[in-house]
Structure 1
Amino acid sequence: MKRHLRIHPKDNVAIALEPLEPGDRIEIDGTELTAAEPIPQAHKMAVAAIAAGEAVVKYGMPIGNATEDIAPGQHVHVHNLKTGLGEILEYGYSPAFESFHTSLPERKVHVYERSNKEVGIRNELWVVPTVGCVNGVAQRIIDRFRKEVDPVGIDGVFA
C-alpha cells in the first residue's frame, strides 16, 4: 500500500497516509524521498524544495506560503506555513467553469414514491467537495472511478 498521496501533479507537498519516521523512504513520481523528521498521519511533507515566501501547493492550488525554507522530506504545517490571504477580511471564489456536453442518448429518470409522498431517485454517485479549490480533485476521482469500476446498476457518476 502507498504510504503517501500526492493529490495533484503540481503539488509540492504530499500527504502521509500513515505516520512517517525520520529516514523512512517513499517514492513519488519516480523520485525517492526520505522523511527528514516525523510526519504525522494526514500531514503534509515537502516533495520539493520550497523557499521562504514561496507558495505551498496542494490540490494544484496555493494553500499558503512558506515562512522559512523547507527542504524535501520536511514536515509542512503551521510552524512553517502561513495563509496567503494576509489582511483580507472578505474572500470571493470565482472559478472558471467549463461547459460539459455528453454524447450519451437522452435517458429517462426512474423515480419512486416515498411513504411521505415525496419523490426519490436512486443509483447516482456524487463526489461533493466541501470547498471550491478541490473541484478538480473531485473530477479526477470521478474520472478514475469511471476507468476502474464497471458502473452496472449506477445511473450516473458526478462531481
Structure 2
Amino acid sequence: MASKTIDTPNARRLAEAAAIRGAAIIGQPGGWSVMLKIGMQETPLGTQRTDKPRSWSSLDTCMQYLRDELGIVRIDGIDASNYSAPTVYSKRRADAAERMKRAHEAAAHDAWFREQVQASIEDQRPSIPHDEARASFADRKAALRKRAK
C-alpha cells in the first residue's frame, strides 16, 4: 500500500462532494482496510493522527463504518487474498467495569456538589454575621471542653 493516506474528516468532505468514485475493502494480516478511488488514484483510508492505514478486525464493523461515517453503501470489491484472522487479542482489564463505575460516581458527585454550591450562592436568606458565628462556636467549644474535664 502507498504510504500516503486520507483521514476520515477529509474522506467525509470528499464523499459529500461526490469526489469518491469507489471503495474497495482489502484483507490484511489481522484485519481489513479500505482503499478509496479518488479521481484516478487509489488512496488508503488512514487513521487521523498518523499516516498509517486504518484497519478493522471485523468486516461487519468496517462496512458499518463506511456506511455511517462516509455514507458509502456500495463497495467495488472485497479482496481477501492477504487476509488472516487477528492472532493477538487485546486483553480486557478485569477492573475496567469497576473503574468506570467509580468514574461515573465521581462525575455524579461533582454535579451534585456544583448544584449545592450554586444553590447556596443563589440563596436569598440572610447569612449569619461572622462575629455571631465565631461567638456561637466559641460557646460550643467551651461547653465541650467543660464536658471533657
TM band (smaller chain): under 0.3
Q: Scaled by the length of structure 1, what TM-score is found?
A: 0.19
Larger helix fraction of residues:
2
Larger radius of gyration, structure 1 or 2?
2
Greater fraction strand: 1
Greater relative contact order (Cα < 8 A, sep 6+): 2
